[in-house]
Amino acid sequence: MRTLAKDAVNKIGEEITLMGWVAGRRDHGKIIFIDLRDRWGVVQVVFSGMPSSGELTKIPDISRDFVLADKLRPEWVVEIDGIVKERPKGMENLELATGKIEIQATRLKILSEAKTSPFDVLSDGREIGEDNRLKYRYLDLRRPRLLKNLTMRDKIISFIRDYLHKKDFIEIETPILTKSTPEGARDYVVPSRLHPGKFYALPQSPQQYKQLLMVAGIERYFQIARCFRDEDTRGDRQPEFTQLDLEMSFASQEEILALTEELYADIIETLYPDKKISQRPFPRLTCKEAMDKYGTDKPDLRKDKNNPNELAFAFIVDFPMFEWKDAEKRWDAVHHPFTKIRNPEHEIRKENAGRLMAYQYDFVLNGCEIGGGSIREHNPEILEKVFEIMGNKKEDIRRQFGHLLESFEYGVPPHGGIASGVDRLVMILEQEPSIREVIAFPKTGDGRDLMMDSPSEISKKQLRELHIKTAD
CA distance 459 to 377: 46
CA distance 51 to 30: 10
State yes or no: residue 239 binds ligand ASP (CB under 6 A). no
3-class secondary-structure state, position 362? strand
Under 8 Å between Cβ of 416 and 374? yes
State yes or no: residue 41 binds ligand ASP (CB under 6 A). no
Q: Which one, 25 or 376, has the nearer CB to ligand ASP?
A: 376
Contacts of 255 (CB under 8 A, 6+ apart): 248
Q: Which one, 7 or 332, has the nearer CB to ligand ASP?
A: 332
Burial of 453 (0-12, 13-18, 19+ CB in 10 A): exposed
Stretch in the footprint of ligand ASP (CB under 6 A) among 104-112, 188-196, 266-274, 367-375: 367-375
Q: Which residue is nearest to ligand ASP (CB)?
A: 205
Least CB distance to ligand ASP at residue 223 (A): 11
State yes or no: residue 256 binds ligand ASP (CB under 6 A). no
Least CB distance to ligand ASP at residue 419 (A): 4
Q: Strand 77-86 and strand 41-48: pairing?
A: unpaired
Amino acid at 203: P
State yes or no: residue 260 binds ligand ASP (CB under 6 A). no
Under 8 Å between Cβ of 293 and 244? no
Least CB distance to ligand ASP at residue 373 (A): 4
Least CB distance to ligand ASP at residue 187 (A): 14
Q: Which one, 78 or 418, has the nearer CB to ligand ASP?
A: 418
User: Given candidates 98, 149, 205, 253, which one binds ligand ASP under the rule CB under 6 A?
Assistant: 205
Q: Strand 41-48 and strand 101-112: pairing?
A: parallel
Return the bridge partners of 31, or none.
48
How many alpha carbons fall within 13 Å on the CB side of residue 423?
A: 21
Least CB distance to ligand ASP at residue 240 (A): 13
State yes or no: residue 238 binds ligand ASP (CB under 6 A). no
CA distance 179 to 401: 10
DSSP 376: B
CA distance 103 to 173: 47
Residues for the chain: how many in total?
Answer: 472
Least CB distance to ligand ASP at residue 439 (A): 17
Under 8 Å between Cβ of 73 and 21? no
Least CB distance to ligand ASP at residue 448 (A): 24
Q: Which one, 356 or 419, has the nearer CB to ligand ASP?
A: 419
State yes or no: residue 337 binds ligand ASP (CB under 6 A). no
Which x/- pattern over 150-189 shows residues binding ligand ASP (rule: CB under 6 A)?
---------------------------------x------
Amino acid at 424: R
User: Given candidates 3, 98, 178, 207, which one binds ligand ASP under the rule CB under 6 A?
Assistant: 207
Which x/- pattern over 395-434 shows residues binding ligand ASP (rule: CB under 6 A)?
----------------------xxx---------------
3-class secondary-structure state, position 464? helix
Under 8 Å between Cβ of 181 and 203? yes
Least CB distance to ligand ASP at residue 108 (A): 53
Least CB distance to ligand ASP at residue 213 (A): 12
Q: Which one, 178 or 374, has the nearer CB to ligand ASP?
A: 374
Binding site for ligand ASP (CB under 6 A): 183, 205, 207, 372-374, 417-419
